[in-house]
Structure 1
Amino acid sequence: MQLLNDKNSLITSYLLIFIFLALLIPLHLTVSFFSGFLVFAIIHSLSKSSEKYIDGRYARLTFSVVVSLIIISLIVLGIVRLISFIHYDLQGARLDQFNAEIDILLQQVQAEIIKYYPSFSPYTTISLKDQLFAYIKENLGMLRHTGTNILHSLASMIIAIIIGIMISLHQIQPTAHIPAFKAALIARIKNLATAFQNVVFAQVKISLINTLLFIVFAHIILPICGVHLPFAKTLTILTFIFGLIPIIGNLITNTLITVAALTISVGLAIVSLAYLIIIHKLEYFINAKIIGTKINATAWEVLLAMLVFEAIFGITGLIIAPIYYAYLKLELKQQQMI
């Protein structure tokens, strides 16, 4: 006996995907969502582009193994580097050198601030460090909670990556007869994956634009003016990496670049921050334009979706809004409602 007919199966699949998307942000599963779908999208795209040369099943298996090895290598490398930093760089002479570098950085920042704010206190690096450690001590509970959240997000991300790889491998199996409800649910997930892929790959273009603008500023404009930004090459790499994260990535790079500029002068820090703010504001329109083109939506539609989701869910909603809107529009088009 068939419990659900085709129409009821379709409606039920829409209800389930709606519940999933509605609970994604409140349950703090955004990182897992991005990680799992990103791995799946990468494997799917690589497999699809290589189907001319390799059989689809073997291509998917090959790229699943390759992506798995790369991810495992990066995780192991990160853990080893962190352990090495804690056990070697923060002990003995290395610790003294690390402290000396921090002292020099704090002295440079302090000297620049005092030029513009003579009443700035404390005047010594030692007291500045003492106040910093006192602040950390007072907010130890919050920092511990933040650390726990980071570890939880990291664990969830790894699990989601494994799930994404497993789903990619599962598609190697030949497809048999699929019940109506299962087919409808798979169609919803495929549409969501398509929307995710369109938006995320568009974000890569946006990150490249941000990086190019930073290169123009840090490697061309500033040297012409006789100024060399500290860690310019490292900041360029970080700008691209963090630029892959919508909105938040820009905030992180803006902070790092401003702090680096502050070691030279407050004036340069203000100029850098102003330049970055302009880029940050332009990103709303660049983001909307590029993503809108990819999902066949006008810029104002994507901007409106971002504003509404930001008002409801905060910064997380701002990040995920283009994906949700792209998925909604794809489903509406398939049902010939728009």
Structure 2
Amino acid sequence: MPSELPPQGSPESPPAHRQAWAPATRGVVIASYLLMAGTLLLVMLRGLLPGLLCVCLGFLLTRWLAPRLVRLRRLGPRGRGFSHSGQSMAAALVMLSPLLLLALALSHSRTYIVDAPQQYRELLDYLARTVLELRLKLPPDIAAQLPAGTAEIQHVIASYLAAKAGALAMAGRAWLTGLLYAYVGLLIGALAAVRGTGTRRGPLTQQLVLRVARMGEAFRQIVAAQFWIAAFNTLLTALFLLVVLPLWDLGLPYTPALITLTFLAGLVPIVGNLLCNAVITLVGLSVSPIAAVACLAFLILIHKAEYVINAKVVGKRTHMGVWELLSVMFVTEAVFGPAGLVAAPLFYAYLKKELKAARLV
């Protein structure tokens, strides 16, 4: 197998003044493939996907911000010192921005925390009124199975939470672990973007850099495609919230905030849509059960359409057929669950790049 060298001028080849690529033997190339495949498999098996995605995101954000910060602060021409200063500022901004956003969110959530008991009481009263209306409309045999009032509803909720305490604790732990992995991944990506390069790398290191560069290019294409997917979902959600629901006199409060949340959450494949779907359904429940059912039906329809939309847009950006990506998404979801559904476009786009570089497809 000939040594695999990136063409001159390609985004995957290092600058000529930094180092030359040493010949790679067949064994070195195979070892780099095995190490990359083993790493990706470990990521899926150990739940490290949020960290991997944030490594890529932190790296790309830092590299994108650095030249813009240099121009913004008028640090002069592309000197080494100026470039390093711009990269350092970009890395610091990427690493500190999640903490600043968290502090801002906590400072604005004190009112909600203080008012939480009253909001809980209002929710219980609302549920009690809804259940009493159902008891009047349903047959007596079925109505007898429903709670009779607020106290009984509270008892049912408490009993359910007690029965599911273990599952809820595990779910909370999984979310916190995922957030920790994501933030650590963001730090790693930002630091990797400003790392210093040595004078010479060994053949295996060169091949691993090539593998990682192709993964980064696939991630960049997926992010660009996901932007258009988020914009499309936001447009449909805006039409539903601003046009369809008001025609039925079921307008939801906080509509501008919900539309903004739909776009921002839509930038995260699959999981972001599930998050905003849950929020919109809960807000619909605060208006009426009919509004909640309408929101849930619409959002389920959008979620199912997400398969085709995602495959179409991502496939066009990454030169993959819709049927290919749909097949991979279904298989990876069956094997790895929702994490496989999120990882499928990225991993398959990377695989196609490797196969094309090896002239196998």
Aligned residue in 2 for 1:126: 151
2:113 corresponds to which letter in structure 1? D
Q: 1:112 to 1:332 in 2, by over 3 A?
A: farther
1:161 corresponds to which letter in structure 2? L
Q: Deviations over 1:200-233 (max 9, x none)?
A: 2321221121111111110122223433113323
Aligned residue in 2 for 1:38: 57
Aligned residue in 1 for 2:122: 101
- The answer (yes or no) to whether the contact 2:69–2:89 under 8 Å persists in 1 is no
Q: 1:230 to 1:122 in 2, by over 3 A?
A: farther
Matched residue pairs, number?
327
| Deviation of the 1:150 alpha carbon | 2.3
| Deviation of the 1:329 alpha carbon | 0.5
Q: 1:186 to 1:115 in 2, by over 3 A?
A: farther
Q: 1:112 to 1:190 in 2, by over 3 A?
A: farther
Q: 1:265 to 1:148 in 2, by over 3 A?
A: closer
Q: 1:96 to 1:50 in 2, by over 3 A?
A: closer
Q: 1:251 to 1:66 in 2, by over 3 A?
A: closer
Give the 5 Å matches for 1:1-338.
5-47=24-66, 55=78, 57-78=84-105, 84=110, 89-90=113-114, 94=115, 96-107=117-128, 109-110=130-131, 113-114=134-135, 117=138, 119=143, 121-170=146-195, 173-338=196-361
- The answer (yes or no) to whether the contact 1:108–1:263 under 8 Å persists in 2 is no
| Distance in 1 separating the partners of 2:158 and 2:39 | 42
- The answer (yes or no) to whether the contact 1:108–1:264 under 8 Å persists in 2 is no
| Distance in 1 separating the partners of 2:253 and 2:133 | 15
Q: 1:109 to 1:298 in 2, by over 3 A?
A: farther
| Distance in 2 separating the partners of 1:216 and 1:116 | 33
TM-score, with normalisation over the residues of structure 2? 0.81
Q: 1:114 to 1:43 in 2, by over 3 A?
A: farther
| Distance in 2 separating the partners of 1:181 and 1:51 | 34
Q: 1:122 to 1:193 in 2, by over 3 A?
A: same
Task: Say which is worse superposed, 6-15 or 242-251, in terms of deviation.
Answer: 242-251
- Gaps (5+ residues) in structure 2? 1-22
| Distance in 1 separating the partners of 2:171 and 2:323 | 35
| Distance in 2 separating the partners of 1:40 and 1:219 | 38
- The answer (yes or no) to whether the contact 1:25–1:313 under 8 Å persists in 2 is yes
Q: Secondary structure at the match of 1:230?
A: coil
Q: 1:6 to 1:236 in 2, by over 3 A?
A: same
Q: Determine which structure has more spread, i.e. the larger CA radius of gyration.
A: 2
- Gaps (5+ residues) in structure 1? none
Task: Say which is worse superposed, 117-126 or 292-301, in terms of deviation.
Answer: 117-126
Q: 1:268 to 1:5 in 2, by over 3 A?
A: closer
2:155 corresponds to which letter in structure 1? D
TM-score, with normalisation over the residues of structure 1? 0.86
